[in-house]
């Protein structure tokens, strides 16, 4: 089959619904062979069903494309290993990993429950790290065997990870952690022929429909649906293609028809007097530095 990703083997996690489903369908439409990973859990991570992944696979196959369903828990270290092994066993190799799976348990910081905090960090952050680890091991082994590797990782952060979001302390923390993981992995895996980038999408999903109901309301029939998850997938597919081999360690905000390169933490104004400061001296120094610095973007919901 022809297409931008013809013949490439792609894992998309959390691909049973929302953004993940849109990514899986878009990759398949561009000729990729897709492993549709989803545990079929509720929004808070509870329960599970093989149905959502199977439905996406059926849709892909009905279009004449190749896909298999996978129900592994990406935040289980051994489960993530089995997921990568499933892709390799089914299609012979892995070329692209799209980390998308996540859950939502919103709380104000003062109301955080330890179990809910752990669950959100586990699925989002550990779920990215575990799959990335095992995919990287696969690509390193291929490289050491003398096989050319031209692989891609696309991680999923959020505006909440870039700027923070009121009522989403655990989610924002996990999504910010994913950005750090992306930067490190991009630097470490370049030697193996692997690029690692992240997106911070805005789209209508089970998560955002609850957290931002007004903003996610579908438009009247015939109008451009800026919050449709399908708007995000073209960038993800391009980042998964061989065309993107020069792009790594970058973060893109994407929604509707808009793509923004996120310009993250950078060193701003500074002063160095060549000796240790005393606390009393800093009352004049810090305000001057802040006056010279660019004001931070506001936290969502503030």
Interval 171-204: pLDDT, tens: 999 999 999 999 999 999 999 999 999 999 998 7
- Catalytic member of 126, 165, 170, 175: 175
State the Cα angle at 77 between 136 and 165, rounded to 5°.
Answer: 85
Q: Is 175 a catalytic residue?
A: yes
Q: What is the pLDDT of residue 41?
A: 61
Q: Residue with structure tokens 């606390």?
A: 279
Judge whether 46 counts as a catalytic residue.
no
C-alpha dihedral over 265, 268, 271, 272, to 10 degrees?
40
User: Does the annotation mark 126 as catalytic?
Assistant: no
**3-state DSSP assignment of residue 16:** coil
Mean pLDDT throughout 98-121? 95
Written as six digits, the tokens of 193 are 């022929």
Asked if residue 47 has pLDDT above 80, the reply is no
Q: Residue 286: helix, strand or coil by DSSP?
A: helix
Options 126, 170, 171, 244, the catalytic residue: 171
| Given the residues 157, 158, 170, 172, the one annotated as active site | 158
Calpha distance 104→172 (Å, rounded) = 11
Name the band, by pLDDT with cuts 50, 70 and 90, for residue 250.
very high
Q: Which sequence spans correspond to the domains of the chain?
A: 9-261
CATH of 9-261, one of 3.40.50.720, 4.10.520.10, 3.40.50.300, 3.40.50.2300: 3.40.50.720
| For residue 45, pLDDT beyond 80 | no
Q: What would the pLDDT profile of 128-177 be if each residue is shown by its tens digit?
A: 999 999 999 999 999 999 999 999 999 999 999 999 999 999 999 999 99
Q: How confident is the model at residue 243 (pLDDT cuts 50, 70, 90)?
A: very high
């Amino acid at each position: 089959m022809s297409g931008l990703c013809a013949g490439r083997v792609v894992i998309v996690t959390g691909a049973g619904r929302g953004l993940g489903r849109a990514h899986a369908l878009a990759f398949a439409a561009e000729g990729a062979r897709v492993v549709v990973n989803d545990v079929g859990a509720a929004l808070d991570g509870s329960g599970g069903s093989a149905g959502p992944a199977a439905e996406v696979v059926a849709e892909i196959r009905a279009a004449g494309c190749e896909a298999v369903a996978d129900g592994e828990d990406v935040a289980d270290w051994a489960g993530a290993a089995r997921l990568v092994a499933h892709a390799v066993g089914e299609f012979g190799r892995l070329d692209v990993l799209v980390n998308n799976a996540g859950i939502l348990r919103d709380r104000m910081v003062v109301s955080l429950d330890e179990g809910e905090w752990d669950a959100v960090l586990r699925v989002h952050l550990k779920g990215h790290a575990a799959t990335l680890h095992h995919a990287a091991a696969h690509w390193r082994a291929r490289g050491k065997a003398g096989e050319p590797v031209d692989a891609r990782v696309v991680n999923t952060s959020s505006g909440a990870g870039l700027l923070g979001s009121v009522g989403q302390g655990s989610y924002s923390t996990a999504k910010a952690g994913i950005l750090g993981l992306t930067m490190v992995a991009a630097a470490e895996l370049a030697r193996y022929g692997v690029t690692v980038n992240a997106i911070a999408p805005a789209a209508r999903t089970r998560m955002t429909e609850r957290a931002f109901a007004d903003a996610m309301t579908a438009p009247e029939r015939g109008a451009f649906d800026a919050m449709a998850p399908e708007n995000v997938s073209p960038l993800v597919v391009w980042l998964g293609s061989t065309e993107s081999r020069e792009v790594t360690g970058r973060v893109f905000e994407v929604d509707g028809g808009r793509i923004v390169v996120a310009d993250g933490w950078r060193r701003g104004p500074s002063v160095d007097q060549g000796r240790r400061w005393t606390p009393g001296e800093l009352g004049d120094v810090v305000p001057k530095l802040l006056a010279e610095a660019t004001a931070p973007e506001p936290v969502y919901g503030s």
